[in-house]
Amino acid sequence: MAGWLLRRLLPLLALGAAASGTAQGQTDSVGRAVARQLARYEQRGPQEKLFLHLDRPVYLAGELMWFKVYAVDGGQNKPLALSSVAYVEVLNQANQPVLQGKVALANAVGRGSFSLPGALASGHYTVRAYTSWMQNFGPETYFHTSVTVVNTFAASAAAVRKDSAAHDAQFFPEGGHLVKGLRSTVAFKVTDRNGRGMAARGRVLNGRGQEVAAFQTLRLGMGRFSFTPASEQETYTAVLTLATKQVLTRRLPRVQEQGYVLHLEASSPTQLTLTVNATRTQPETVFVLGHARKKVAVANSIQLVNGQAVLVVNKSQLPEGVTHFTLFDAGQKPLCERLYFRPPTSTLALTARADKAHYAPREQVHIEAALAAPTPRLAASLSMAVYRLDSLNATPALAIDRYLGLTSDLKGNVENPDYYFMATGPEAEAATDNLMLTQGWSRFRWEDVLRPAFKPFEHLPEPNGPLIRGRISQAGTNLPQPNIMTYLSSPSRIIQLNNSQSNAQGQVQFEMNDFVGPQEIVVQTDPQQDSTCRITITDPFSAQYASRRLPGFGINTRFETDYAKRHLQNQVQNVYAGKYRNHYRRLPADSLAFYGKPDQTYLLDKYTRFKVLEEVLREYVPGVVVRIRKDGFHFLVADNVNQTLQDRNPMVLLDGVPVFDINKIMAMPPIKIQKLDVITSRYFQGLAVYDGIVSFTTYKGDLEGFQLDPRVLVQRYEGVQQQREFYAPRYDTPQAAQSRLPDLRNLLYWNPDIQLTGAVPRQLDFFTGDQAGRYLVVLQGLATNGLAGSTSFVLEVKPAL
């Protein structure tokens, strides 16, 4: 496993360009040491990211939520086929999961769905997704987006609640600190109860009530002001007057007596100027490191003279996306941090065109999807949704290019991310900089980067299916039990057995291939090795949660007509099309047992049936010798290679479940057994060695009432999701078009499996329903070269004449 990780997980990190020619000084030994240590930290493994394309932003309780998962390398945004399982959850306001699912990934994409419970309360919910590998880097690295669920059965009982206490204002000193005597820029963000930015004006007062600064919001509730803290003993308070005439009071962060202030500004259209100010006036060398997407772009030492130094950086040096600038002292201590965003100039250009401007009910729609600027052999994986626009679906969903290019590197919800990609001019630059100041975040801690030895990863990737993890402990003491061979199986006619030996912490893990849907797992140890241990299975879902704030929710009485209409549509669809909700793809299953083709196979229906299993084995199965000793029956399997008998009992299986008590299997009525396989040689599986295998299979693969040992752990366990098929009626015959069954679909089309290559377009078609209105077509995806893109347009369905 270690060799595989080294080959798969340790791509070399290339250092970026050197610093600008206008920067003073060269990278000294301290700077080189920091850059090398960051490179070592990044080389431990890839930065995996997930993106979910959800079919729409608003759902009714009882509807289906569809989604596609994209897995990418965070350094280059290229598809990353590292993990084979994505963990997807729907969380309520209290970060409690209301839905959880494991989604199979193949070639860095996956498709899944959730059936929203009919009793799910109205509100805003968080959909988050991550892999086992991503759990090593904290919940802030997970994919997050918010959706709205409306329970129309209870909609009339939930009115909008006014909550003035929910307004908030936060203040963020540039670089991280307010320092006595150093002029500092302070960014701020004012939000309403829904987390949206709101207008406000304010003043900053010192402890004596004197005004030291005044400010007002610019765009989306954000802004900035500058002032010079007079003393570390002084406290500063911001008094804000909101657009609603309400007044908020907030304390600014504490002032430090000594320290540094880092200021960044665009000094020209092509250059950035970083200014460092310090309270110390003695000459001092500090180091500035700028990195983004696992690459070092700026690495410069600069000399502080009279407590000030300036570094000029060419914007062209910086990678597209978010760059982190960090200031270090000579002792490699991080002092300040600042973020800068360079909008991506290259995206995956997509086109999607309908064959008509508007359609009649139950008319076929033809859409041509293509790469707008095709490159030979460039391939892209896309997904498309078509849903009805109404007052409930007014908020656009997050697009993949906006997420990978910006919001995945920031904390919290970014309001209107399209603005930072499309707007230009001084106002847009100021708004973008305010966003960097108020929602900046680092995916690692410098203390972890600079430590001499890195902590080992707790969570391994899952390249070949989900890992089921557990723990072996002493009964009554909970102390770990190391070096215990543990077996996991699931009763079935397809014989699969997994084993794992517990480590020093008592941990075991089993790699499960083709483990789909809910199944019953049986976990046990060999009683001859240990008969008193306790087995527990670990929950694979993350118990860590990001600090995100969901907006408040209330039913708006202005939309009661829309709620009633959606309620009727949902109920009609459930009545007339509900039977199509749970159609699943039949995936090809490997019917070969884990031991491959057996040396001997006996179909017992071909032989005269005996009443006891001992007679069956003695009469028909020469490869298995039955012996009776003081403690009962024993099996010895012939060793055909060495022309002798094995010394110990073979591994005896019933429907894939190990049976260590031969007496119990011998007591089973042979009429319940349909097949017997025998491996007549020593068999190696992982660290386990079996002196042959004797595998009994029942007719249904359900153990046929066989009583397992009471010490065995039997547990219901969820594998990866079965792939639900999207259903939409077709009206391509006169009989279908004249059907009297109502078609009130809100979601006309969902396709997560669109593939485009080069200049070859893809034709997609579906039929409209009975509802007139405007429908939003959303197409988005990712190319093999790492470019992400999205496009959308509106098609209209006219009412029938």
Spatial separation of the C-alpha atoms in residues 332 and 446, rounded to whole Å: 10
Spatial separation of the C-alpha atoms in residues 293 and 376, rounded to whole Å: 27
| DSSP conformation letters of 579-631 | GGTT-B-------S-TT-S-SEEEEGGGS---SSHHHHHHHH-TTEEEEEETT
pLDDT digits (tens, 9 = 90+) for 305-340: 999 999 999 999 999 999 999 999 988 899 999 999
The answer to whether residue 558 scores a pLDDT higher than 60 is yes
**In a 3-state reduction of DSSP, which class is residue 484?**
coil
Spatial separation of the C-alpha atoms in residues 437 and 516, rounded to whole Å: 45
pLDDT score of 1:
43
User: At residue 355, what are phi and psi to the nearest 5 degrees?
Assistant: -80, -10
pLDDT digits (tens, 9 = 90+) for 397-429: 899 999 999 999 998 889 999 999 999 999 999
pLDDT score of 6:
38
Instruction: Please choose, from the candidates 351, 347, 434, the residue with its C-alpha nearest in 3D space to the C-alpha of residue 399.
Output: 347
- Mean pLDDT over 167-182 rounds to 94
pLDDT digits (tens, 9 = 90+) for 360-392: 999 999 999 999 887 788 999 999 999 999 877
pLDDT digits (tens, 9 = 90+) for 455-475: 889 999 999 999 999 999 998
Q: Output 573 or 156, whichever has higher pLDDT.
A: 573
Burial class (CB within 10 angstroms; exposed 0-12, middle 13-18, buried 19+) of 80: buried
Q: Output 28 or 465, whichever has higher pLDDT.
A: 465
Spatial separation of the C-alpha atoms in residues 646 and 691, rounded to whole Å: 6
The answer to whether residue 762 scores a pLDDT higher than 90 is yes
The answer to whether residue 232 scores a pLDDT higher than 50 is yes
Label residue 394 by pLDDT band (50, 70, 90): low
pLDDT score of 447:
86
Lookup: tokens for 482: 């190391």
- Give 163's contacts (C-beta < 8 A, 6+ positions apart): 193, 552
Three-state SS letters, 258-303: CCEEEEEEEEECCEEEEEEEECCCCCEEEEEEEEECCEEEEEEEEE
Lookup: tokens for 481: 């039990």
For 172, 292, 404, 445, 554, the CA distances from 409, given in Å and listed in that order, are 18, 10, 8, 15, 30
The answer to whether residue 149 scores a pLDDT higher than 60 is yes
Query: What does the DSSP 8-state code read for residue 13?
Result: P
The answer to whether residue 690 scores a pLDDT higher than 90 is yes
Number of H helices, E strands in the chain: 10, 49
The answer to whether residue 570 scores a pLDDT higher than 90 is no
pLDDT digits (tens, 9 = 90+) for 65-118: 999 999 999 988 999 999 999 999 999 999 999 999 999 999 999 999 999 999
**In a 3-state reduction of DSSP, which class is residue 575?**
helix
pLDDT score of 352:
96
Three-state SS letters, 240-252: EEECCCCEEEEEC
pLDDT score of 28:
59
The answer to whether residue 487 scores a pLDDT higher than 70 is yes
The answer to whether residue 205 scores a pLDDT higher than 60 is yes
Please report, rounded to a whole number, the percentage of residues in the chain having pLDDT higher than 90: 72
Q: Output 789 or 43, whichever has higher pLDDT.
A: 789
Q: In DSSP terms, which residues pair with 308 in a beta bridge?
A: 277, 305
Label residue 45 by pLDDT band (50, 70, 90): confident
End-to-end Cα spacing for the chain:
67
Is the distance from CB of 203 to CB of 252 less than 8 angstroms? no
Lookup: tokens for 754: 């669109």
The answer to whether residue 594 scores a pLDDT higher than 80 is yes
Instruction: Please choose, from the candidates 319, 479, 397, the residue with its C-alpha nearest in 3D space to the C-alpha of residue 779.
Output: 397
pLDDT score of 24:
37
pLDDT digits (tens, 9 = 90+) for 251-263: 999 999 999 999 9
In this prediction the pTM is 0.91
Q: Output 477 or 260, whichever has higher pLDDT.
A: 260
Label residue 567 by pLDDT band (50, 70, 90): confident
Averaged pLDDT of the chain:
89
Q: In DSSP terms, which residues pair with 272 in a beta bridge?
A: 266, 313
